[in-house]
């Protein structure tokens, strides 16, 4: 049992499926396969130690990532660590320059793409990521230029990053082209979408996202995802990488900030795994459990405390994000070593189980709770 | 092509274009249906008196059946399929399009088109890319298209306004391998929609080679959107705080409806899905969905009527031109002169 009040038996952790494992450094597909990845930002030094050594890995994000990497590795030698290049969030791709070649300060001239990836590896990243700039919706020139550049690389330690405006999922022709481009990649694709809010918010985009993973024939990682990463996993994704807080579960478009309904509310979004959703602590406290006992969480971070207890201070936010990291690994533990059909069946059971938690919660609080559109779409 | 075969195809095209069945023709002319069937497939011959009777019934000069040399095979047409559109109506328009193609070829004296076909390569090339390529090849760059009909006509396509309301389609297009692309625009189509409809049919013509599937309809839509207003241009021109007032100049410049502009903005991620819904509610509640401010001016085809007038001015008689089009002069006038005036 993870929570009181609600129960979704299909999400119960099963760590017996995984065992000790070495890091397949430099081999992208081997390293990514059968691992759940986390996108770790400001609290990377606190989150990585919480990851499960036999099944988890981390993408380290932000300016401090290279600085902290060595320290984090020393403390967690069995966790794969990959540094996200800044190009993904700070640069618009063009048809002539799809990649932002990060400069080696000691060199007078720009490095080649190959040398940039070598530099990432020398900085300690277990894999390299192409520094692809964000690609505007319909900018086929940049998309194809990035493909050509990546395909020219003759190495197996690279992930071909595709940071795309969310509109690529809205228009069937763009989606078709995206699938065709991914299918021509020599490398596993690190796929992410940009938006000021949830990029895969609508049912239409959820369907398109699923269609993409169902149709592509090249390994693709659902990167900077939320729970939709599990839907991707169930429909063909090689892996997913989920962030512990909202801005790590998407990319903001270059030069823009995310949109929040209530920017004053800084309390953490807590993963309620049985419901397959993140819910802000404040929301649960005010809207769900104002007049009844809050549900308790028995994960290794919460240890039986109420799931709505956290407020907006930094220390409390960190606790909430740590809960999320642990809950994501728990959720993934059942997927280890499952074939595609079994993953899909497991996800189907988990989504049905999540739907069943709503009547349980409603009975407890005495009024209806709206089921999110994404859960309805996943369960369909 | 054998004269028998060409004559049979003309007979079938005329019959279908008049909305008649073989049985009805048989009843009216006392030529057996079996004979008519063989005639249409070029496998029989009848005497001149019977050809005269057929010509009389179908409203064309008798000479039509003797002069015809070229194929009038039913055109492969692209059109938005409607469940309610009867197949007979579709065949009728296909026949009309085939006749129009034949007549136009004769009137324009084997004009050539500079349009070509493009390969979508299983989706690797997008309709939007092809739209931009075609823009470049037509010398349009990334500027607004003032008169789309004129652009199409100067590229060698034939555009005709046509009564298509009965089959509930806005336009049909056909492009046989050895001929000119022909686009029939429904006479009922409002000016605001006409440009998009023409661009849609152009997309079919340059990208597809068979009856359009649902997928191909979406491809033609995507082509049309990009051809009329390249995404990179709308990104630059989309107002920071978009409102009806700030979008009117954009609408005027690019000749697109507000509804189409807002849809483009969504497709380009310039607005969110929430904002798109709000826009649609606004356009709907203010009645602008039906009647937009500053409606687009209608564009009229002129190339064919100009060619006909030039021929008339140079001394060719109306009778002669009508005869070359296998028509009586009055129908010729109604079809090619008054309609495009």
**Nearest CB neighbour to B266, from listed A170, A196, A201:** A170
A30-to-A22, A27, A85, A240 alpha-carbon distances in Å: 11, 6, 21, 14
Nearest C-alpha in A relative to B232 = A139
Q: Could you report the predicted ipTM of this complex, rounded to two decimals?
A: 0.84
Do the chains contact at B126 and A170, CB–CB below 8 Å? Answer: no
Beta bridge partners of B272: none
Query: Quick one: pLDDT at residue B340?
Result: 45
Query: Quick one: pLDDT at residue B190?
Result: 81
Query: How does pLDDT run across A33-63, given as a tens digit for each residue?
Result: 999 999 999 999 999 999 999 999 999 999 9
Beta bridge partners of B162: B186
Q: What is the pTM of this model?
A: 0.87
**Nearest CB neighbour to A171, from listed B121, B129, B267:** B267
Query: Does B268 contact A at CB distance below 8 Å?
Result: yes
Query: Does B71 contact A at CB distance below 8 Å?
Result: no
- Asked whether A241 and A37 are in contact (CB, 8 A), the reply is yes
Reading the block at residue A76, the tokens are 């967690």
% of chain A at pLDDT higher than 90: 90
Map tokens 């405006």 to a residue.
Answer: A165
B185-to-B75, B112, B197 alpha-carbon distances in Å: 16, 21, 8
Handedness of CA B93, B97, B102, B106 (dihedral sign): positive
Lowest mean pLDDT among A64-68, A106-110, B204-208: A106-110
Whether B97 shows a pLDDT value over 70: the answer reads yes
User: Closest Cα partner for B93 from B105, B85, B103?
Assistant: B85
Do the chains contact at A136 and B235, CB–CB below 8 Å? Answer: yes
User: Any residues with CB less than 8 A from the CB of A49 and at least 6 apart, and which?
Assistant: A75, A76
Nearest C-alpha in B relative to A184 = B124
A26 alpha carbon, distance to own chain's centre:
21
Classify A222 as helix, strand or coil.
strand
Nearest C-alpha in B relative to A181 = B124
Length of chain A as a residue count: 380
Query: Mean pLDDT in chain B?
Result: 87
Kindly report the nearest CA distance between residue A194 and chain B, in angstroms: 10
Chosen for mutation from B118, B121, B122, B126 (greatest number of chain A CBs closer than 10 Å) is B126
Query: Quick one: pLDDT at residue B341?
Result: 39
Which of the residue ranges B84-93, B161-170, B182-191 has the most confident prediction, judged by mean pLDDT?
A: B182-191
User: Closest Cα partner for B172 from B132, B211, B138?
Assistant: B211
| Kind plus residue range of the DSSP H or E element containing B161 | strand B158-162
Whether A102 shows a pLDDT value over 80: the answer reads no
Classify A366 as helix, strand or coil.
coil
- Asked whether B276 and B262 are in contact (CB, 8 A), the reply is yes
Do the chains contact at A173 and B222, CB–CB below 8 Å? Answer: yes
Map tokens 């903005």 to a residue.
Answer: B265
- Asked whether A330 and A276 are in contact (CB, 8 A), the reply is no
Query: Does B267 contact A at CB distance below 8 Å?
Result: yes
Whether A196 shows a pLDDT value over 70: the answer reads yes
Reading the block at residue A27, the tokens are 């081999």
How many angstroms separate the CA atoms of A343 and A347, rounded? Answer: 6
Do the chains contact at B226 and A138, CB–CB below 8 Å? Answer: yes
Beta bridge partners of B160: B184
How many angstroms separate the CA atoms of A65 and A126, rounded? Answer: 13
Query: Quick one: pLDDT at residue B211?
Result: 67
Query: Does B222 contact A at CB distance below 8 Å?
Result: yes
Do the chains contact at A167 and B266, CB–CB below 8 Å? Answer: yes
């Amino acid at each position: 049992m993870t929570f009181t009040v609600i129960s979704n038996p299909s999400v119960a952790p099963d760590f017996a499926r995984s065992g000790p494992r070495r890091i397949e450094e430099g081999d992208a597909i081997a390293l990514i396969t059968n691992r759940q990845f986390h996108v770790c930002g400001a609290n990377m030094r606190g989150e990585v130690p919480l990851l499960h050594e036999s099944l988890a890995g981390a993408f380290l994000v932000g300016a401090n990532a290279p600085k902290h990497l060595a320290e984090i590795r020393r403390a967690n030698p069995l966790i794969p660590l990959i540094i996200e290049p800044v190009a993904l969030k700070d640069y618009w791709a063009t048809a002539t320059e799809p990649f932002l070649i990060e400069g080696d300060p000691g060199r007078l001239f720009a490095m080649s793409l190959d040398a940039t990836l070598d530099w990432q590896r020398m900085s300690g990243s277990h894999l390299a990521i192409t520094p692809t700039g964000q690609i505007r919706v319909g900018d086929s020139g940049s998309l194809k230029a990035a493909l050509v550049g990546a395909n020219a690389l003759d190495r197996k330690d690279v992930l071909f990053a595709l940071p795309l405006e969310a509109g690529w999922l809205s228009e069937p022709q763009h989606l078709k082209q995206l699938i065709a481009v991914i299918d021509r990649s020599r490398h596993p694709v690190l796929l992410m979408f940009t938006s000021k809010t949830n990029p895969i918010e609508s049912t239409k985009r959820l369907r398109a996202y699923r269609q993409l993973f169902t149709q592509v024939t090249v390994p693709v990682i659902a990167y900077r995802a939320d729970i939709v990463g599990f839907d991707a996993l169930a429909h063909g994704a090689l892996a997913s990488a989920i962030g512990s807080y909202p801005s790590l579960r998407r990319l903001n478009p270059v030069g823009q900030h995310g949109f929040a309904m209530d920017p004053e509310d800084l309390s953490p979004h807590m993963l309620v795994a049985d419901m397959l959703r993140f819910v802000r602590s404040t929301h649960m406290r005010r809207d769900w459990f104002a007049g009844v006992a809050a549900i308790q969480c028995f994960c290794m971070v919460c240890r039986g405390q109420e799931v709505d207890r956290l407020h907006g201070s930094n220390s409390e936010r960190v606790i909430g994000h740590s809960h999320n990291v642990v809950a994501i690994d728990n959720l993934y533990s059942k997927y280890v070593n499952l074939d595609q059909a079994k993953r899909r069946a497991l996800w189907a059971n988990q989504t049905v189980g999540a739907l069943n938690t709503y009547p349980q919660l409603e009975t407890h609080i005495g009024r209806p709770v709206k089921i999110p559109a994404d859960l309805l779409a996943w369960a369909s | 092509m054998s004269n028998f075969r060409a004559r049979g195809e003309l007979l079938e095209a005329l019959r279908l274009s008049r909305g008649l069945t073989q049985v009805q023709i048989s009843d009216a002319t006392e030529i057996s249906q079996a004979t008519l069937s063989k005639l249409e497939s070029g496998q029989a011959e009848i005497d001149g008196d019977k050809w005269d009777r057929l010509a009389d019934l179908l409203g064309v000069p008798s000479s039509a059946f003797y002069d015809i040399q070229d194929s009038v095979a039913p055109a492969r047409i692209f059109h938005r399929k409607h469940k309610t559109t009867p197949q007979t109506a579709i065949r009728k328009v296909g026949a009309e399009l085939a006749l129009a193609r034949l007549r136009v070829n004769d009137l324009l004296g084997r004009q050539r088109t500079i349009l070509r076909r493009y390969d979508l390569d299983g989706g690797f090339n997008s309709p939007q890319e092809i739209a931009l390529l075609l823009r470049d090849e037509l010398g349009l760059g990334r500027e607004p298209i003032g008169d789309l009909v004129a652009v199409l006509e100067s590229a060698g396509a034939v555009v005709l306004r046509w009564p298509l309301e009965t089959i509930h389609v806005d336009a049909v297009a056909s492009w046989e391998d050895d001929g000119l692309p022909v686009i029939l625009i429904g006479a009922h189509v409002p000016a605001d929609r006409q440009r998009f409809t023409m661009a849609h049919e152009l997309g079919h013509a340059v990208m597809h080679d068979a009856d359009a599937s649902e997928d191909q309809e979406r491809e033609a839509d995507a082509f049309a959107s990009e051809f009329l207003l390249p995404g990179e241009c709308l990104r630059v021109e989309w107002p920071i705080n978009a409102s009806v007032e700030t979008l009117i100049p954009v609408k005027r410049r690019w000749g697109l409806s507000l509804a189409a502009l807002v849809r483009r903005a969504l497709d380009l991620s310039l607005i969110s899905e929430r904002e798109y819904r709000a826009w649609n509610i606004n356009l709907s509640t203010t009645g602008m969905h039906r009647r937009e401010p500053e409606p687009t001016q209608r564009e009229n085809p002129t190339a064919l009527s100009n060619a006909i007038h030039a021929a008339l001015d140079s001394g060719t008689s109306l009778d002669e031109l009508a005869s070359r089009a296998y028509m009586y002069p009055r129908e010729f006038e109604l079809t090619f002169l008054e309609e495009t005036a």
